[in-house]
Amino acid sequence: MEAVRLNKYLAVCGVCSRRDADKLIEEGVVLVNGERAQAGRKVSDADVVTVRGKTLHTPQDHVVLAYYKPRDVVCTERDAHAGRIVTKEIGYPRRVTYAGRLDKDSEGLLLLTDDGALIDAMMRGRNGHEKEYIVKSDKTWEEAAIANLRAGVYLEELSQKTRPCKIERMGDKTLKMTLTQGLNRQIRRMCRTQGYEIKSLKRTRVMNIELGNLKPGEYRELTEAERTALYGLCGLEAK
């Protein structure tokens, strides 16, 4: 591997995102050739990089999983008391982490990988990657409320207006929503601005990957065609 910035190296090795890598470097738990690493340093496979005493190696190939996250399973890697945690529930033999969260009360498609560069590319909000959801509310949807959501609504708690989105009515109380953002509890907050509470929320697609026939708690490795297309949409070359 050619020399790259240390935070990218940690991401490529599947340790964490670049942002979290910067925090680890700042905390002093990252060593390069036995010395405390400095932010901005470049490293390659010729260097010995350790995080909390564990030596890193760039993987020769990466895995990407499609997982049906059930309700009550939590996307976290820091809270040891969170109960059911995604990475423990899935029990995959290699360390993988998620690209984009689903809150505890939501279910559906979650992509997990050991490729930090892929996670980083998928998480950049400016890339506008699509995510599709089936949303069931507590009452019948009025067309005016749907039109407001499509155009974008202001979320006072986050001091931000949502991007325009695609919405298809699937029933009196059921919508298919396609977003290009990943704000915290975004759909629930959006619907609340129109006076609706969400009874169930399921993500059915992330970019080109569909939930398909997976059942809650099941996962599968992406096909080669899916991997190639996913990496291409992220501006990366599949490994």
Burial class (CB in 10 A: 0-12, 13-18, 19+), 156: exposed
Average pLDDT over residues 98-105: 89
List Cβ neighbours of 176 (8 Å cut-off, separation of 6 or more): 132, 133, 134, 135, 167, 168, 170
The confidence band for 1, taking pLDDT boundaries of 50, 70 and 90, is low
- Domains in the chain with CATH codes: 4-55 (3.10.290.10), 64-125+208-233 (3.30.70.580), 130-206 (3.30.70.1560)
In terms of DSSP H, where are the helices of the chain? 6-12, 18-27, 86-90, 116-123, 143-151, 186-193, 224-233
- Whether the CB-CB separation of 36 and 15 falls below 8 Å is answered with no
Looking up tokens 């490994």 gives 239
Residue 80, pLDDT > 70, answer: no
Residue 123, pLDDT > 90, answer: no
Render 151-201 in DSSP notation, one character per residue: H--EETTTTEEPPP-EEEE-SSSEEEEEES---TTHHHHHHHHTT--EEEE
Q: In this predicted model, what pLDDT tens digit does every residue of 168-193 receive, in sequence order?
A: 999 999 999 999 998 999 999 999 99
Average pLDDT over residues 119-135: 87
**Dihedral, CA of residue 75, residue 77, residue 80 and residue 86, to nearest 10:** 40
List, as own/partner pairs, every contact residues 16-22 make where C-beta atoms lie below 8 angstroms and the sequence separation is at least 24, other chains included: 16/97, 16/116, 17/116, 17/119, 17/120, 17/123, 18/116, 18/120, 21/116
The region of weakest confidence among 23-32, 102-111, 117-126 is 117-126
Catalytic machinery residues = 103
The region of weakest confidence among 71-75, 84-88, 157-161, 181-185 is 84-88
List Cβ neighbours of 57 (8 Å cut-off, separation of 6 or more): 13
Question: What gap in Å lies between CA 4 and CA 14, rounded to an integer?
Answer: 15
Question: What gap in Å lies between CA 55 and CA 101, rounded to an integer?
Answer: 28
Six-digit token string for 224: 């080669």
Q: Give the strands of the sheet with 54-55, arranged side by side.
A: 35-36, 30-32, 49-51, 54-55
According to DSSP, the residues that pair with 43 across neighbouring strands are 4
